């Protein structure tokens, strides 16, 4: 098990280029399964979760050619359907959350989709009911082998229908959209997710020949087509990484420029960080965070304590609440962080409290942060990363802390952040990878 050894308390300075968006990559990499033609995808992040999915696609029979770093050509001409019943498939699929997204395109094109119970973070329940309910409404039959923890959907002739989703699940919407693009007739999905990742997937499918309208809204209309062709697609910069870098700059008192952030796809993210008192400047498509002596959390107009909560897009993404929480530790003022979607995502605050942060964990979903306004520096400790976002939050805390910190289980961080130690060391951080 690898670890990071961090000597904190050093301000950073320089430029960072955000990686391609992990959450988008996990969706768009499954779209080539819908066509026998070549599909080129660029700006693919070189991270564990994405590489695992590429390995799974390859094992299924997808021909994959690396053009250059981050750019691949995919061709799903000869898919081995028998492989999906093997132990190797079950092992690979169960180690990765993103494997769930292969079911929709496989069902659409081949009439069958298989899935072992997916793995991923320990951040609370992430149910799959929404995915399979949508596919059943399109006419698929669903089977679950409880002993093997193995899901199967079958449906040779999918028919378009009206689907009112019980929750605006991003991966659920992506799966149902990919199942519906080759279905007969028209499918309407209401209460659909509308995150930029999903917008990107829909735009990509349209460039392959699909007919999807209502993109960026919560109602998608999909007119089924007979077949899809190849295309070129570029993945957006990762907004979660951009948010992580904003928080890092503030907590460590650093001056950082984040290059090519795609401002129009960041939604409310810059606004929420500004509410913590962080100065964020737009320079073309770059983002400049100047060095600040202190930053003060706003209060509501009536003087009450600021509350920051997650919500489905265009609300604030739950992936950045851990970052907001650690950023608020050195702010002036107080904030209530309300993590509505996942019940285990705030448990890492115990580690921040051990480092000297003033945080009250109210319940599994809510924490109140009393900012220290840099009056007291956090102290370095030994800790373990429970999930991707908490791991980076602890890394940010360690970079601002006095003395040495050690973070174990950094495989969790590597799942979502490409070469994070190398990139931050180039800005003046002191991070050593050990083990």
* Domain ranges, ordered by start, for the chain: 3-19+237-434, 22-234
Using alpha carbons, select from 200, 324, 307 the residue that is nearest to residue 270.
324
Q: Give the model's pLDDT for residue 124.
A: 40
Strand order in the sheet with 186-190: 162-164, 186-190, 219-223, 211-213
Q: Give the model's pLDDT for residue 31.
A: 98
Which residue numbers are catalytic? 121
Helix (H, G, I), strand (E, B) or coil at 292: coil
Using alpha carbons, select from 71, 375, 84 the residue that is nearest to residue 232.
71
**Main-chain dihedrals φ then ψ at residue 6, nearest 5 degrees:** -120, 130
In angstroms, rounded to a whole number, what is the distance separating the alpha carbons of residues 316 and 308?
Answer: 8
Helix (H), strand (E) at residue 258: strand 255-258
Using alpha carbons, select from 275, 290, 241, 277 the residue that is nearest to residue 261.
241
In angstroms, rounded to a whole number, what is the distance separating the alpha carbons of residues 152 and 168?
Answer: 23
Using alpha carbons, select from 249, 210, 199, 207 the residue that is nearest to residue 399.
249
Q: Give the model's pLDDT for residue 125.
A: 43
Q: In whole angstroms, what separates CA 78 from the centre of its chain?
A: 30
Do 22-234 and 3-19+237-434 fall under one CATH topology?
yes
Q: What is the mean pLDDT of each run of 10 residues along the chain (435 residues)?
A: 94 96 96 98 94 95 96 96 90 83 95 77 56 92 81 91 94 96 98 96 98 97 97 97 97 97 97 98 98 95 94 93 97 96 81 96 94 96 89 96 96 90 97 93
Name the maximum alpha-carbon separation found in the chain: 65
Helix (H, G, I), strand (E, B) or coil at 97: helix
Q: CA angle at residue 400 from 396 to 402, to 5 degrees?
A: 135
For the domain spanning 3-19+237-434, the CATH number is 3.65.10.10
In angstroms, rounded to a whole number, what is the distance separating the alpha carbons of residues 100 and 412?
Answer: 19
In angstroms, rounded to a whole number, what is the distance separating the alpha carbons of residues 318 and 193?
Answer: 14
DSSP 403: S
Domain 22-234 has CATH 3.65.10.10: yes
């Amino acid at each position: 098990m690898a670890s990071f050894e961090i000597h904190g308390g050093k301000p950073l300075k320089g430029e960072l280029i955000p990686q391609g968006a992990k959450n988008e990559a996990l969706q768009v990499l499954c779209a080539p399964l819908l066509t026998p033609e070549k599909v080129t995808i660029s700006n693919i992040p070189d991270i564990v979760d994405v590489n695992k999915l590429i390995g799974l696609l390859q094992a299924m029979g997808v021909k994959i050619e690396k053009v250059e770093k981050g750019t691949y050509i995919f061709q799903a001409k000869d898919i081995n359907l028998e492989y999906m019943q093997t132990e190797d498939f079950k092992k690979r699929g169960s180690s990765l959350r993103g494997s769930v997204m292969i079911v929709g395109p496989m069902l659409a094109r081949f009439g069958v989709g298989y899935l072992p119970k997916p793995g991923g973070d320990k951040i609370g329940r992430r149910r799959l009911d929404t995915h399979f309910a949508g596919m059943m409404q399109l006419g698929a039959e669903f089977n679950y082998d409880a002993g093997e923890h193995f899901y199967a959907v079958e449906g040779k002739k999918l028919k378009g229908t009206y689907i009112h989703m019980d929750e605006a699940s991003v991966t659920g919407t992506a799966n149902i959209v990919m199942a519906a693009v080759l279905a007969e007739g028209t499918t309407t999905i209401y209460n659909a997710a509308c995150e930029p990742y999903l917008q990107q997937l829909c735009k990509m499918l349209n460039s392959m020949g699909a007919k999807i309208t209502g993109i960026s809204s919560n109602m998608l209309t999909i007119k089924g087509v007979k077949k899809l062709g190849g295309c070129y697609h570029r993945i957006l910069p990762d907004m979660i990484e951009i948010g992580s870098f904003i928080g890092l700059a503030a907590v460590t008192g650093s001056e950082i420029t984040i290059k090519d952030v795609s401002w129009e796809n960041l939604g409310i993210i810059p606004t929420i960080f500004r509410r913590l008192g962080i100065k964020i400047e737009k320079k073309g498509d770059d983002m400049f965070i100047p060095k600040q002596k202190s930053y003060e959390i706003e209060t509501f107009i009536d003087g009450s304590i600021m509350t920051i909560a997650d919500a489905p897009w265009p609300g604030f993404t739950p992936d950045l609440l851990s970052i907001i929480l650690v950023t608020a530790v050195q702010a002036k003022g107080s904030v209530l962080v309300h993590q509505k979607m996942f019940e285990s995502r705030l448990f890492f605050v115990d580690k921040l409290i051990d480092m000297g942060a003033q945080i009250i964990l109210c319940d599994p979903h809510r924490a109140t942060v009393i900012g220290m306004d840099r009056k007291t520096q956090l102290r370095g400790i030994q800790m373990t990363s429970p999930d991707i976002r908490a791991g980076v939050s602890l890394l940010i805390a360690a970079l601002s802390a006095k003395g040495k910190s050690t973070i174990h289980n950094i495989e969790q961080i590597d799942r979502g952040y490409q070469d994070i130690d190398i990139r931050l060391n180039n800005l003046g951080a002191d991070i050593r990878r050990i083990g």
